[in-house]
Amino acid sequence: MASLAEIDWCDTPLVAPTRNTEVEREIRKHLGVSQNSTAYLAPVPWVAWTLTTNMPPVAHISNRLTDLIGLIVSMENSCRHCYGATRSILRLTGYSEKRISQLEEDLYQSDLDERTLTALAFARKCARSDPRPDARDLAELAEVGYSRMAIAEVAYVATSACYSNRLATILAIPPDDIEDLEKNPLARLFRPVIRVVFNALDARAKQRNRKRFPPGAIQACAPKLGGKLIEALRESPTAPMLARILEDCWQSPHLSRRTKALTFVVVAQALNCPLCTLEGRQLMELEGWRQEDIDHLLTYLSSDQLTPFESRFIHFARDTVNYKVPDIQYTARRFLADLKKEEIIEACGLVSLANWVARLSIILEQDR
Interval 82-137: pLDDT, tens: 999 999 999 888 888 888 888 888 887 778 899 999 999 999 999 998 788 999 99
> Sign of the C-alpha dihedral, residues 220, 223, 226, 228?
positive
Please say whether the beta carbons of 78 and 171 come within 8 A: no
Reported as a pLDDT band with limits 50, 70 and 90, residue 218 is: low
Nearest alpha-carbon partner for 232 in 308, 117, 155: 155
Answer whether 8-214 and 247-367 agree in fold.
Answer: yes
Please say whether the beta carbons of 236 and 153 come within 8 A: yes
247-367: CATH architecture: Up-down Bundle (1.20)
Domain extents for the chain? Answer: 8-214, 247-367
Hey, which CATH number is domain 8-214, 2.60.40.1180, 3.30.70.20, 3.40.720.10, 1.20.1290.10?
1.20.1290.10
Please say whether the beta carbons of 343 and 261 come within 8 A: no
CA atoms within 13 A on the CB side of 363: 29
> Sign of the C-alpha dihedral, residues 144, 162, 214, 258?
negative
Q: Quote the pLDDT of residue 123.
A: 96
Residue 44 Ramachandran class (φ > 0 left, ψ -120 to 50 alpha, else beta)? beta
CA atoms within 13 A on the CB side of 358: 30
Q: Which runs of E-coded beta strand occur in 19-132?
A: none
Radius of gyration for the chain, computed over Cα atoms and rounded to the nearest angstrom: 20
Euclidean distance between CA atoms 8 and 5, whole angstroms: 8
Cα pseudo-dihedral 309, 311, 315, 316, rounded to 10: 0
Euclidean distance between CA atoms 242 and 258, whole angstroms: 21
DSSP state of 41: H
Lowest mean pLDDT among 80-89, 148-157, 224-233, 318-327: 224-233
Reported as a pLDDT band with limits 50, 70 and 90, residue 223 is: low
